[in-house]
Amino acid sequence: MFRHAKRLAPIFVLQSAGSVFGQSIDQIEPRAGTWKTWAISSAEIIDWLRPPDAASTRGELESVRGAIAEKDPRIAQQVSFWDAGAPSYRWIDLISNRFISGAPVTAFGHRLYAYVAMAMYDTTVAVWDSKYAYNRPRPSAVDPTLRTRLPTPRSPSYPSEHSATAPPPRLPCLAISFRPKPRGSRAWRRRPVNRGCTPGWNFQPITSRGWSLDAVFTTNERAFYWQSADGLRIWPYRHADKWMAEDKLHENPPRAARVYALIALAFFDTFIASQDGKFTYWYIRPHQLDSAIVPIFPAPNFPSYPSNHSSFSATNSEMLAYLFPTRADYIRAVGKEAGDSRIWAGIHYQIDNEAGVRMGRSVAQKFIAWANADGSQ
């Protein structure tokens, strides 16, 4: 009903949409407002205040002109900062930087990415629904003499995609309730762990046995990378950022928001599926079964089977292969290395890796099927 409410009365349009924003083929996703959403039933349930009429719009131009004329270098820096990519890019980047810097965050980073990316995607779809319903011209279309700080996007002005996607929600920690633990010497044994909203676990240092440095340096180095903040959480977004920039997809806010949402939500569901498997089987870690095995870094404080990292990496690489098919072979090789690294580190069995890969690919296929029917094709 809200979609019809948006169209009840004519709005201020200086020229036809085609002449203001270019031909339909040049517009930025004019049908993105019809794409399938995640948390809201559809973009139509979100209604914005109607934009002002022609007289009010011309009055607003004076404030726009004043903002453009402002010489404060901090303003220019902020414009450059927020225009580095699509509106959703900077918020994902800020989350990643918190993990890298060691700032306090939730212990389950995939949850933070998932909810922020989902909220920004649904918001962007709702924004695009109203943009093309109201079709309000950009300020430079109303007054071609305006010398804008940035190139004018090829989409209507109202509402603002940058304003709508900021700020992302603050999220609490995620608590996990474990299933009843089976008995027996082969069942995984838990040790005390810090589960608060602070980075890292309360592991005690462990030194690895004296293997030949020349023989294992490469695998050890890659294993340590995949245990880092970048290797655990951030790498799929790094690749997406790079490839969207290369393909100029950062100029298309709905497509960029869709990329982040599909990656983050698939990652989140894989975590749930993998943890469900772990606390169904309570499979013992290799070093708990054989004390001669000393991992190169402490094993995570939960059961072994299936491998979380193998699950996540398979999902992430399959989603990136779907979203960027020309890089599919490369990113699948990256995902395989990520899973293999847990065996190199001595914290998983091969069966954990194989089961994680199967699970991760299965979850990814569910999301790819959803994406193929989301209306964006």
Q: What percent of the chain has pLDDT over 90?
A: 67
Digit-coded pLDDT (tens) for 229-273? 999 999 999 999 999 999 999 999 999 999 999 999 999 999 999
Digit-coded pLDDT (tens) for 204-231? 322 333 333 344 668 899 999 999 999 9
What is the pLDDT averaged over residues 317-331? 97
- For 147: left if phi > 0, alpha if psi spans -120 to 50, otherwise beta; the answer is beta
283 forms beta bridges with: 187
Distance CA 317, CA 314 (A): 5
pLDDT number for residue 265: 96
Distance CA 303, CA 352 (A): 10
Q: Is 20's pLDDT higher than 70?
A: no
pLDDT number for residue 108: 76
Output the average pLDDT for the chain. 84
Q: What is the fold of 1-25+51-377?
A: Vanadium-containing Chloroperoxidase; domain 2 (1.10.606)
- Triad 248, 253, 256: Cα angle to 5°: 70
pLDDT number for residue 182: 74
SS3 state of residue 283? strand
The HSE-up count of residue 370 (CA atoms within 13 Å, CB side) is 17
Q: Is 184's pLDDT higher than 90?
A: no
Residue 247: both structure tokens together: 């393909």
187 forms beta bridges with: 283
Least confident of 25-29, 89-93, 140-144, 366-370: 25-29
pLDDT number for residue 191: 63
The HSE-up count of residue 184 (CA atoms within 13 Å, CB side) is 9
Least confident of 157-166, 181-190, 286-295: 181-190
Which helix H or strand E contains 44, and what residues bound it?
none
